[in-house]
Amino acid sequence: MNRYPLWKNLLVIAVVLFGVIFAMPNIFGDAPAVQITRVDSNKLAPAALDRAVDALKKANIPYTTARHGAQKDVIVFPNTGAQLRGNRMISDTLGDNYSVAQNLVPQTPGWMQSLGLKPMAKGLDLVGGIYFRLRVDVQESIDHTLDNDLSSIQTSLREADVRYSDASRKGQTLQFTFPNAQARSKAESVVRKNYPKATFTDYSVKGKAVARMTPSPARLQQMRNLAIEENVAALRRRVNELGVAEPIVQRQGQGYIVVELPGLQNAARAKQQLGDTATVQFRMVYQGADAQQAARTGQVPLDAQLYRDKNGQPVLLKRQIVASGPEITDATSGFDQQSGSPDVNVSLNSAGAARMGKVTRHNIGKPMAVLLIQNRTESKKVDGKTVTTTKKIKKVINVATIRGVFSSQFQITGLTQEEAKSLALTLRTPLAAPVNVVEERTIGPSLGQQNIHYGFAAVVLGFALVVLGMAIYYKVFGLIADAALIMNLVLVVALLSLLQATLTLPGIAGIVLTVGMAVDANVLIYERIREELRIGSSPQAAIQAGYDRAMATIFDSNITTLIAGLVLFAIGTGPVKGFAVTLTLGIITSMFTAIMGTRAIVNAVFGGRRLKSLPV
Amino acid sequence: MELFKRQTHFNFLRTRKIALAMSLVVLAAAVASFTTRGLNLGIDFTGGVIVQVSYPQPISTDTVRAQLTQAGFKNFTAQHFGAPTDVMVRLQPRGDQVAKDEGAAVVKTLQKQNPKVQEKQVNVVGPQVGGQLRNQGALALLVTLILIFVYLLVRFEWRLALGAVAATVHDVVFTVGIFSFTHWQFNLDVLAAVLAVLGYSVNDTVVVFDRIRENFKRMRRGTPMEIMNAAINQTLSRTIMTSGMTLLVVIALLVVGGAALRGFSLALLIGIIVGTYSSIYIASATALMLGVSRQHFAAKKRAAAEEQP
């Protein structure tokens, strides 16, 4: 009696082996390192690493290993002091084309890494870093798309010879006015070809035929998704240039993006760089009137607009835009070769380049201006509610005389080095819609260390207390439950490593909690065995009945905790999600270890023997 | 080792009316505290700025307060956090846009007075985000309760399911009530702990109920009260042992887990203690008062027996 079939024993052994193998990478710890990547997406040449290593040797900064890779080079340091100095030295040596970031690399042996075995991923509250939650102003992007729709519809109406007297956008509705209903129905059939799912509503205003067109809900949703996806992609590129090892940029729900920057400390700079929506327009300076006078009298010519330059001096620009931000395909910061002042090298796409070429050819000797447009969000309390408004700040940053014909490649000057750098990045990775930081968390590295330390201490103490308690109360059976408890801990760590779920401080607390709750199954079984013995069952029959009878109860009671864990997982974010993950995994694995695991041991030790009593 | 050498025969349910009355009074107090004092919600739920800094030597919060007031900060609180060298400054939210680097400004101000001040963490939460989390949290509690109720409804008789849910609501209200009464900070971690308590409390109740169901089917004699009392007594060692072990680990969390986990551990500690009490008194007593009796369990058995010729 009480013998386990071979397959069950093998299953238990297999699971234990699985747990040990996948949990193993965690025992090696991390080492301070510096990683080098290229700012652009080109492959990394081995020369960069050689230069970095040479610089370290010259400066007598100790390092343990330097590894070259196609995506990134990694240099490991013996301590954080050397890492800090090394980071500065490498960053100075390699210059702007490389992104140099401090990192913690797992010390897992190479053969384990090549098998894909990784340690658990640690959350920001354990390693330090910055967390941002950004709200995407999708409306602005939708408005922009609808404006584009409007002008393309106008073009197609003109091409189809349909006359209309007015076309405008009101919120999310496009409104067209036609001389008569005939023209309107013809127009609608033209527009329907391109927008088959849009809704048209006809009105008659003062004898004129009016049509209102609303995009289909599916299309609006698509626009929303596109804006967010594009922003995620742009933010990813921006984050890569911040010099962060293993950043996370993730969409969250219907209008949020979460950015996690491990190891970074300067929140203000990161925030500025992530949220920057600056763009530029290239326009000819209006020369038909005096700017000073226009500013004084407020009389601005119809085809001109009044702006101010950096010194607050008024400048009149033609309304017509020669080229603008969306037409820029690439932008890099550098220095002007003649003057040595900072500049931004801009490349335009073919449409922009064609227009730029035409305009410069006809306007040699005349001044052209660069207009910088920045978004500033401000919030005010109005009637107790917070109202966020986005203000566009437009400023002429540079006026230069056109000296020769140029089209796709040219420079923007008139900026400081910092400004040139950040403008180049912003133009290179434009955001589809403005973003606002609505949540920001900075965790210092010392706090991360402290959290790991406390969490680890709690696991050790909690574990020791329970192991001791079970051994005292249930003797040999208690020790068997303790073995299952160790197995459970190993399994949770193994699963966390395998799934690469993020371990957080509440996550560690969840592990501690499951240590306490996991014994419940064994307590239930052992109490049943004791009961059976009390009513006079033989030891073997008591074991059998104890396990059988407790089974239903164990399932019922664990499922309710599992429900709470899953709901928590669904709604929780960040650290709390970590708690839900460890709690849920812990419950599932404990059902296996506490029932099958202990039974395998109990059967191996006591099964098939004549027993007078049980040490329970 | 055994807690009880022989099967115990405590008459738990005899005092059910006193216990229920006591619980009702405590719950009324909790609700009263909740409505009048409210909860000391953390910035996760209200929005605002929290700055945690560390000094090389112990520092008085008055000094920190004076320095910040002098620099023009208003509407803030400063408290020690975990150690006399660590100070946590909390600022009220201003507008939805994350207050423009206000957290960094606090750190700078303090560092101007003492350059050795170390920034440990800065959290900035916009009030809209806070409002969202508040709604999500309340929703999570509700959804969990409903799901657990549905599960118990399927597995048990409705009187027992209702008893279990009553016990669980009791535990949540009690725990939140204590947080309201003591004005301990209620943040996202504490909410997570309350949800875990929810799961744990039902877990405890289900074990007792499983035994009640079994007893109703197996014991030929006895009033419902006697049968339920027997079930509670039979599971008593288990209840004490499991709660004891879980309490041990929670105490470990409380003692060595650091200041960051204090609220979390306290919520668990309170929840587990009342959860153990409520699975005996509230859950079983409610089911008993709802009139649970043998025929509610025998029905299925008889139907099954009739099928066999």
Q: pLDDT per residue over A396-430, tens digit each?
A: 988 888 888 888 888 888 888 888 888 888 888 88
CB B264 within 8 Å of CB B186 = no
Helix (H) or strand (E) holding A411: strand A409-412
Rounded Cα gap, residues A272 and A260, in angstroms: 15
Give me the helices (H) in A70-216, please: 80-94, 110-114, 124-127, 138-159, 181-194
Q: For residue A248, tell me if it sits in a domain.
A: no
Q: What value does the mean pLDDT take over residues B34-60?
A: 90
Which amino acid, A580?
A
Q: Which amino acid is at A28?
A: F
Partners of B234 on chain A (C-beta within 8 Å) are 531
Say which CATH number the domain at A208 has.
3.30.1360.100
**What pLDDT score does A488 carry?**
94
Task: Give a yes or no: residue A254 inside a domain.
Answer: no
Taking contacts as CB-CB distances below 8 angstroms, the residues of chain B near A568 are 140, 144, 192, 195-196
Question: Distance between CA atoms of A280 and A297, rounded to whole angstroms?
Answer: 28
What is the predicted pLDDT for the residue at B278? 92
CB contact under 8 A, A523 and B252: no
Instruction: Compare CB distances from A524 to B120, B122, B207 and report the shortest one's residue.
Output: B207
Q: A567, B103: Cβ pair inside 8 Å? A: no
Q: Which residues of A touch B1 (CB under 8 A)?
A: 472-475
Maximum alpha-carbon separation in chain B: 91
Q: Which of B121, B124, B241 sits opposite A473 (nearest CB)?
A: B241
Chain A residues whose CB is inside 8 A of the B103 CB are 267, 440, 442
Q: How far is B159 from chain A (nearest CA, A)?
A: 17
Same domain, B66 and B201: no
Tokens of B3: 């807690």
- Provide mean pLDDT across the span A57-73: 87
| CA distances in angstroms from A255 to A285, A390, A505, B147, listed in the order given | 39, 17, 27, 28
Residue A114 neighbours by CB under 8 Å, 6+ apart:
none
Q: Are residues A538 and A457 in the same domain?
A: yes
Nearest to A438 among B129, B147, B246 (CB): B129
How high is the pLDDT of residue B65? 93
Q: What is the mean pLDDT of residues B29-36?
A: 94
B188 and B283 together in one domain: yes
pLDDT, greater one: B252 or A571: B252
Contacts of B207 in chain A (CB under 8 A): 524, 553, 557
Burial of B4 from C-beta contacts in 10 A (0-12 / 13-18 / 19+):
exposed
Shortest distance between the Cα of A431 and any Cα of chain B, in A, equals 18
**How far is the C-alpha of A304 from the C-alpha of A293, rounded, in Å?**
14
| pLDDT attached to residue B298 | 65
Distance from CA of B61 to the nearest CA of A (A): 20
Model confidence pLDDT, tens digit, residues A522-531: 999 999 999 9
B interface test, pick of A137, A382, A513 with most B CB neighbours within 10 Å: A513
One domain for residues B229 and B294:
yes
Question: Could you tell me if B78 and B215 lie in one domain?
Answer: no
- pLDDT of B300 higher than 80: no
Q: Quick check: is A348 in a domain?
A: yes
The answer to whether residue B61 sits within a structural domain is yes
Answer yes or no: do B292 and B266 share one domain: yes
Residue in A376, A378, A438, A479 to test binding to B, most B beta-carbons within 10 Å = A438
Contacts with B125 from chain A: Cβ below 8 Å = 438-440
Confidence of residue A377 (pLDDT cuts 50, 70, 90): low
In a domain, A158, yes or no: yes
Average pLDDT for A221-245: 86
CATH code of the domain containing B69: 3.30.70.3400
Residue A513, domain CATH: 1.20.1640.10
State which of A400, A428, A456 marks the end of a domain. A428
At B251 the pLDDT is: 94
Mean pLDDT of B61-84: 89
Q: Does A390 lie at the interface with B, CB-CB under 8 angstroms?
A: no
Identify all chain B residues contacting A386, using CB atoms and an 8 Å cutoff. 95-96, 127-128
What ipTM describes this predicted complex? 0.87
In this structure, are B167 and B205 located in the same domain? yes
Same domain, A78 and A194: no
Q: Which positions in chain B touch A454 (Cβ < 8 Å)? A: 256-258, 260-261
CATH of residue A101: 3.30.70.260
Alpha-carbon span B252 to A29, nearest angstrom: 24
Nearest to A516 among B127, B248, B260 (CB): B248
* Cβ within 8 Å, pair A388-B198: no
- Chain B contact set for A476 (CB, 8 A): none
Same structural domain for residues A455 and A424?
Answer: no
What value does the mean pLDDT take over residues B8-27? 90
DSSP state of A341: -
Arithmetic mean of pLDDT over chain A: 87
CA distance B181 to chain A (A): 24
Task: Provide the domain count of chain A.
Answer: 4
Residues with Cβ within 8 Å of B50's Cβ and at least 6 positions away in sequence, in order, are: B42, B43, B88, B89, B90, B91, B103, B121, B122, B123, B124
Q: What is the pLDDT of residues B253-292, one digit of tens each?
A: 999 988 889 999 999 999 999 999 998 889 999 999 998 8
Rounded Cα gap, residues A213 and A167, in angstroms: 11
What's the whole-number average pLDDT of chain B? 87
Same domain, A146 and A177: yes
| 3-state percent breakdown (helix, strand, coil) of chain A, nearest 5 | 50, 25, 25
- Whether B147 and B265 map to the same domain: the answer is yes
Q: Which of A176, A192, A219 is the last residue in one of the domains?
A: A219
For B73, the domain range is: 48-125
pLDDT (tens digit, 9 = 90+) per residue, A559-597?
888 888 898 888 777 778 888 999 999 999 999 999 999
Are B102 and B142 contained in the same domain? no
Write out chain A residues lying below 8 Å of B210, CB-based: 552-553, 556-557
B20, burial (CB in 10 Å: exposed 0-12, middle 13-18, buried 19+): middle
- pLDDT value at B99 more than 60: no
Domain that holds residue A43: 30-106
> Among B201, B187, B183, which residue's Cα sits nearest to residue B277?
B201
**pLDDT top residue among B125 and B301:** B125
User: Average of pLDDT values for B127-142?
Assistant: 85
Confidence at B239, pLDDT banded by 50, 70, 90: very high
Q: What is the pLDDT of residues B19-32, one digit of tens each?
A: 999 999 999 999 99
B224 and B284 assigned to the same domain: yes
Per-residue model confidence as pLDDT tens digits over A135-155: 888 888 888 888 888 888 888
Inform me whether the C-beta atom of residue A529 falls under 8 Å from chain B C-beta atoms. no
Residue B304: band (very low, low, confident or very high) from pLDDT cuts 50, 70, 90: very low
- Same structural domain, B170 and B33: yes
- Position A316 pLDDT exceeds 80: yes
Contacts of residue A615 in chain B, CB cutoff 8 Å? Answer: none
Is A552's Cβ below 8 Å from some Cβ in B?
yes
Indicate the pTM of the whole model: 0.82
Chain A and chain B share a number of CB contacts under 8 A equal to: 242
Which of B203, B260, B268 lies closest to A557 in CB terms?
A: B203
Q: In the structure, what pLDDT confidence band is assigned to residue A7 with cuts at 50, 70 and 90?
A: very high
One domain, residues A522 and A593: yes
Measured CA to CA, the distance from residue B216 to residue B224 in angstroms comes to: 8
Q: A125 in a domain, yes or no?
A: no
Say if the Cβ atoms of A388 and B96 lie within 8 Å: yes
Contact B148 A450 (CB under 8 A): no
Side-chain-facing half-sphere of A394: CA atoms under 13 Å: 14
With bands split at pLDDT 50, 70 and 90, how would you rate the model's confidence at A311? Answer: confident
* pLDDT (average), residues A187-213: 87
Is residue A381 exposed (0-12), middle (13-18) or buried (19+ Cβ within 10 Å)?
Answer: exposed
- Same domain for A469 and A596, yes or no, is yes
If asked whether residues B107 and B161 sit together in one domain, one would say no
State yes or no: pLDDT of A53 exceeds 60: yes
The torsion angles phi and psi of A602, rounded to 5 degrees, stand at: -55, -45
Residues A456-466: pLDDT tens digits?
999 999 999 99
Percent of chain A with pLDDT over 70: 97
pLDDT value of position B303: 47
Contact between B196 and A559 using a beta-carbon 8 Å cutoff: no
Sorting pLDDT into bands at 50, 70 and 90, what band is A385? low
pLDDT score of A596: 93
pLDDT at B307: 47
**Pair A49, A18 in one domain:** no
Q: How far apart, in Å, are the Cα atoms of A320 and each of A304, A359, A603, B87, B237? A: 8, 11, 87, 57, 85
What single-letter amino acid sits at A121? A
Report the distance separating Cα A508 and Cα A477, nearest Å. Answer: 27
pLDDT at A521: 92
Q: Are residues A401 and A298 in the same domain?
A: yes
- Pick from A454, A513, A564: CB nearest B258: A454
A interface test, pick of B102, B146, B195 with most A CB neighbours within 10 Å? B195
In a domain, residue A388? The reply is yes
Asked whether residue A10 carries a pLDDT value surpassing 90, the answer given is yes
User: Of B110, B125, B140, which one is at a domain's C-terminal end?
Assistant: B125
Task: Label residue B309 by pLDDT band (50, 70, 90).
Answer: very low
- The verdict on B85 and B204 lying in the same domain is no
pLDDT value at residue A17: 95
Instruction: Tell me the per-residue pLDDT of A440-482, one tens digit each, with 9 for 90 and over.
Output: 888 988 888 889 999 999 999 999 999 999 999 999 999 999 9
Residues in chain A: 616
Label residue B308 by pLDDT band (50, 70, 90).
very low
Give the minimum alpha-carbon distance from A103 to chain B in angstroms, rounded to a whole number.
19
Using 50, 70 and 90 to split pLDDT, how confident is the model at B302? very low
